[in-house]
Structure formats: structure tokens, C-alpha cells
Structure 1
């Protein structure tokens, strides 16, 4: 996979967890503000390795310059300003995760948030 910032980390949250938390919030469960994240902070490189494991084949992360990644994203239809803002976000948070893992999902749902590996396995056909 060719992309920018191999070392950038974030705590990916499964959209099903978000939907479950939102449904409970709409039904009046909980109060206050929750920071919802996935259960682990993973780098782009680690995410690619997990996808490879789920697919049963080795995948390689090839780091490209941020400008090249942004141009490729824009060529694929993503608005240029959004792609540039995404690259700027990665730059700002290279030395620390933007959102370290929290227990917000577990606090509402009574179970841990799904891992990226679980997400990837559940969506294997899409890859």
C-alpha cells in the first residue's frame, strides 16, 4: 500500500460501535460528553500488517511523500483542500496519537470497543 506517514497513529473506532452508542444516547442512556475511540492506537503501518494477516497474505506499506499522497487522493476525487488538511493532521500528530484510546465505548455499551482486526475480519470481502 502506498500512503503517507507510516508512523502516524490513531485509535480507529468501528462504525458499528459508533452507531450503538448513538442509538443508546438517543434513547437517553448516559449523560455528558464522551470521547469515543477504538481500543488501541495503531500506526498506518500496523493497520496494513493487520489487513495482510486478515487476508492471509503479506502486504507492504510503501511510504510516499505527503504531497504525492494528497495529489493521488485529489486525482481520485477527494477535494484537494480536504486531502491537504488530512496530511496536515498527520504531520501535527506524528509524535503522539491524536486521540489515545479511551473507554468511552465500553462505558456506554458494557463491552470493549471492537478492534481494528475484528473490523477487518468482519469486512474481509471488501478488501
Structure 2
């Protein structure tokens, strides 16, 4: 399995959202297709319990491409308050990442990837639905299920 962006990556914003209604980060218009951890687990279970995925390396994604700004707004809806994503320069984001313990090489790699995703919708893979027999869960579903973490 090769999952792309995890919906749970939004948990990196918990401290900011608990303090204010603003998430500060790079590249507000960068797209990802966040996948719910339950969908990753469902695909993994199917792969372990059947022959359906033998020899395959399915690319997994969530069902919709969303920008970081859109993800923040969706979290706000789940929390019942408006949130906004405020873009900061990549250098400031790198400093925050490395200051928070992210190795420099990983921070640089993530920032390059995010820059390449600006205004480019993420590819949506049909693999979750093909393997599990049901559509993947949306980021809004994830946000509703995890709203308590942000309170």
C-alpha cells in the first residue's frame, strides 16, 4: 500500500487551533487528498485476509482533493467555529518545523512537495473503493470524528 497524505496530518494544527481561529502554514493553495486512517486499515485488512492485492502496490488517496485552506475551513465546520489558514513564507514554515523537531531534510522535502502542489489538484485514486467495495471517507467525516482533539 502506498497511502498519500493522511487526514491525521491535520493534527499538527491542534495547538494553533486550541489557541486561536487561525492556522499558520505554508502554501495555503497546496492540494492533497487526505485519506482517513480507517480506510488505510480497511485496505490493509483486505490485503492480509484475501488474495485480492497480491503483487499489487495500490496508491491510496482520500476521495477529494483539498487545499490546506479548505481543510482548515472543514475543521472549523466540525468545531462549530470559523477557522482560517493564513499563509506564511516557506522559510518561516521551515524554521517552525525544524524548531519543532522535524529533521531539516524532511522539512525541505515537505516544503518542496507542497510548493509543487499549489493550484494543482491531487490525483484521486479509485483503489480504496475498488479494494474495500465502498467509497473512502471524506475529510469532513475525519474532522467530525476527531473534533475533540482540537478542543
Q: TM-score range by the shorter chain?
A: over 0.9
Counterpart among 10, 31, 36 of residue 14 in structure 1: 36
Matched-pair contact (CA < 8 Å) for 1:70–1:87: yes
Segments of structure 2 that go 5 or more residues without pairing to the other structure are: 1-22
Q: Between 75-84 and 63-72, report the one with greater CA deviation.
A: 75-84
Segments of structure 1 that go 5 or more residues without pairing to the other structure are: none
Cα offset, 1:111, TM superposition: 0.9
Deviations 1:47-82 (A, max 9, x none): 000001100011121100011111101111111211
| Number of aligned residue pairs | 126
Report the TM-score when normalising by structure 1.
0.93
Which has the larger share of strand? 2
Secondary structure (helix, strand or coil) at the match of 2:64 reads coil
Report the TM-score when normalising by structure 2.
0.79
Cα offset, 1:20, TM superposition: 1.0
Give the direction of change, closer, same or farther, for the CA distance of 1:36–1:67 in structure 2 (3 Å limit): same
Counterpart among 8, 15, 25 of residue 47 in structure 2: 25
Q: Higher relative contact order at CA 8 Å, sep ≥6: structure 1 or structure 2?
A: 1
